Structure 1
Amino acid sequence: MPKLSVIISTYNQPKWLYNVLIGYQLQTFKDFEIIIADDGSSQSTKQVIDSFAKQSNLSISHVWHEDKGFRKTTILNTAILKSKADYLLFTDGDCIPRKDFVQIHFNLKQQNCFLSGGYFKLPKHISEIITETDIQSQHCFDKHWLLQHGLKSSFKLNKLTAKGLKQVLLNTLTPTKATWDGMNASGWKKDLLSVNGFDQRMAYGGEDRELGERLINLGVKPIQIRYSAICVHLYHERSYINENALTTNQAIRKATKSLKKTWTDYGIKQPI
C-alpha cells in the first residue's frame, strides 16, 4: 500500500499533463501512487497517460467519465474511492511540482488537520517554452531563470526562494487564509469521507474551498504551507467559467458556512 495518493485533476491538457507527470517522476519521496481524475478528456490525454505509464516507474491510474460539462467534483469523488493510501494530496494537471513537493506534504501532515498550499502562476510565454529538460534541471522553479525569460519581478517570487525561518515566517504572516485549494491541498482520506467528499452540484468556482469549509466545521484544522509546498501553474484559458454556476456555488457555500454543515447529501454517498 502506498503511503500517499496524489490525485491530479485534468481536462484536455495533454501537453501540460505530460510536463506535470515529469515533475512527479522526479520526486524525492517515492512511496506514492498517482490517480488522474479526468473530467472527460479526449483520446489524446489517455494516450499521454498510457505512454507515460509504460516508460515510467510511477504507479498511475486513470479514472475517466464522459464529458457532460464541468463535473470535476464527481470525478474527484471517484478518485477518492479508488485511492489506496490513508493520506491524499490533491493537485491539478497544469501544476508542475517541485521535486520536494510530495515530501513536504508527507512530512508536514498532522492528524485532524489539512494542509493548504498555493501555486506560482506563470505567464503564457514562459509556460509554453518550458521543456522536459527545464523540469529535470528544476530551472522552472529558479528565480533567475524565470527572470531571464521575461518574468516580472514581484513579492510572489518569495514562494520559490523562501527557506528556513523566512519560510516559516511567511507562512505565518501571510494575510491569505489557509483554505482547501484544489491545486495544492492534502488531507486524510477518513476526514474527506467523513464530510462525504466534494459536493457534486458545484461547477467551477469555489467548489474546492466548500469542501475545506465542511472540514473546518468538522473540526479539521487548516495549516498554511503556501511558502513550503511549491508548484508552478502553467497558463491556460478558463472557458468553463459560468456566471449562473458561480451564483449557485456561492449560495451553497453560504449555507455551508451559516449552517456549519459538515456533510453534503450530494457527495460520494447520495440518498437513494
Structure 2
Amino acid sequence: MKASVIFSTYNSEEWLEKVIWGFSVQTTKDFEIIIADDGSREATKNLIEKYKTELDIPIIHVWQEDNGFQKSQILNKAILASTTDYLIFTDGDCIPRKDFVETHLNNRESGRFLSGGYFMLPMNISKLISKEDVLSQKCFDVNWLTQNGLKKSFKNNKLSAKAFKAKLLNFLTPTKPSWNGHNASGWKKDLVKINGFNQEMQYGGQDRELGERLENLGIKGKQIRYSAICVHLDHARGYVNPETWAKNNAIRKNTRDQKLTWTEKGITTNL
C-alpha cells in the first residue's frame, strides 16, 4: 500500500456509502481506507462490514464511544491504525473523483503537505446522486450538475479544469495552502512529529491548527485545490456553537504566536 485514506463519519450511512462508492473506482488501488468513526450506531458498523467483503481495497474501521464531537481524537486513533507512511485525509461527506488518490500520490513531496479543497453541493443534488452517478462520474460533470439545479459560478472551474489549466489555477489562486480536513495529505512521520490533532479542539479549525504546527516545523503547504477534486454533500451542523469557535480560535492564536510544533493532547494521549 502506498497510502492510507482516512476520513471520519458519525451516524451518516447514506453519505458514507456514496463516499465509499467514490473510493471503489479510484484509478489506483494501492491504498487502504481507514474510517474514523466518532461513535456511530450499529447501522454504520454493518454498512462498513458489508463493504469490507465487497471491495478489493482494505478497510479498517476505527470506532470510539459517542462522547460528543471528538473528531480530533478519532483521527489520531486512525493515524495510529494506519499501516503506510503517507496519509490522505478527507471527510465522510466528500465523494472523491476517480483520480483523487492518484493526484495526492503524484504530488507528494518530502518536506511538504498537500492542500486541496472541495466543491460544495446543495442538498437537493446531494440527495439525488445515485450509485450509478458516482461510478460513471456524472456527479463531477458540470453540465449534469447544472441540469439538476447547480448555479453557474467561477467556482465550477474546480470541476472542469484539467491538466495545465488546473495547475495554472493552483498557482494563481489567492487561497493559502492550509491543511483542510476534507482534502489534505502528508507524511505520517511529520504528523507524528507534531503529535497529530489537538484533542482539546472540537469543531472549528482543528485541521487548520494542525497545519499551522506543520508550518512551524518547516513543513510547507502545497496547493492542489484544482487538481484533487471531491464534492461535498450538504448536511446539518448541529455541533457548531460560538463558544467552541472562540476556544479553538484562542488555541490557534497561541499556536501561531508561540510558533508551537507540538500539542500535549495529541496522538500520544491514545497510546
TM-score over 0.5 for the alignment? yes
2:87–2:187 contact (8 Å) kept in structure 1: yes
Deviation at 1:42, TM superposition (A): 0.8
Q: Determine the C-alpha separation between the residues in 1 that align with 2:270 and 2:12.
A: 34
Residues 1:257 and 2:264 are matched in the alignment: no
Q: Which position in structure 2 is the counterpart of 1:219?
A: 218
Q: Which position in structure 2 is the counterpart of 1:7?
A: 6
SS at match of 1:61: strand
Deviation at 1:55, TM superposition (A): 1.4
2:77–2:270 contact (8 Å) kept in structure 1: no
Pairwise mapping of residues 141-156 of structure 1 onto structure 2 (< 5 A)? 141-156=140-155
Deviation at 1:132, TM superposition (A): 0.2
Residues 1:117 and 2:102 are matched in the alignment: no
Q: Determine the C-alpha separation between the residues in 2 that align with 1:118 and 1:44.
A: 29
Q: Determine the C-alpha separation between the residues in 1 that align with 2:116 and 2:89.
A: 10
Higher mean alpha-carbon deviation, 229-238 vs 261-270, is at 261-270
1:119–1:226 contact (8 Å) kept in structure 2: yes
Q: Determine the C-alpha separation between the residues in 2 that align with 1:18 and 1:211.
A: 28
Deviation at 1:148, TM superposition (A): 0.4
Q: Determine the C-alpha separation between the residues in 1 that align with 2:21 and 2:203.
A: 27
Q: Determine the C-alpha separation between the residues in 1 that align with 2:16 and 2:73.
A: 20
Deviation at 1:199, TM superposition (A): 0.2
Change (3 A) 1:221 1:144: same
Deviation at 1:173, TM superposition (A): 1.1
Residues 1:62 and 2:39 are matched in the alignment: no
Q: Describe the superposition over 1:194-221 as per-residue Cα deviations: whole angstroms up to 9, x where unpaired.
A: 0000000000000000000000000001
Q: Which position in structure 1 is the counterpart of 2:166?
A: 167
Letter in 1 for 2:231: V
Normalised to the residue count of structure 1, the TM-score between the two structures is 0.98
Q: Determine the C-alpha separation between the residues in 1 that align with 2:50 and 2:197.
A: 30
Q: Describe the superposition over 1:22-46 as per-residue Cα deviations: whole angstroms up to 9, x where unpaired.
A: 1101000111000000011111111
Q: Which runs of 5 or more residues in structure 1 are unaligned?
A: none
SS at match of 1:269: helix
Q: Which position in structure 1 is the counterpart of 2:29?
A: 30
SS at match of 2:88: strand
Letter in 1 for 2:125: I
1:115–1:185 contact (8 Å) kept in structure 2: yes
Deviation at 1:165, TM superposition (A): 2.1
1:265–1:271 contact (8 Å) kept in structure 2: no
Pairwise mapping of residues 79-158 of structure 1 onto structure 2 (< 5 A)? 79-158=78-157
Q: Describe the superposition over 1:199-249 as per-residue Cα deviations: whole angstroms up to 9, x where unpaired.
A: 000000000000000000000010000000000000101110021111110
Higher mean alpha-carbon deviation, 242-251 vs 219-228, is at 242-251
Q: Which position in structure 2 is the counterpart of 1:245?
A: 244
Q: Which runs of 5 or more residues in structure 2 are unaligned?
A: none
Deviation at 1:54, TM superposition (A): 1.3
Q: Determine the C-alpha separation between the residues in 1 that align with 2:160 and 2:233.
A: 19
Deviation at 1:107, TM superposition (A): 0.3
RMSD after superposition: 1.1
Matched positions, count: 271
Deviation at 1:164, TM superposition (A): 2.2
Q: Describe the superposition over 1:53-77 as per-residue Cα deviations: whole angstroms up to 9, x where unpaired.
A: 1111120010000101010000000
**Runs of 4+ in structure 1 displaced over 2 angstroms?**
none
1:70–1:203 contact (8 Å) kept in structure 2: yes
Q: Describe the superposition over 1:154-200 as per-residue Cα deviations: whole angstroms up to 9, x where unpaired.
A: 00000001112211111111111110010000000000000000000
Q: Determine the C-alpha separation between the residues in 2 that align with 1:225 and 1:14.
A: 29
Residues 1:202 and 2:180 are matched in the alignment: no
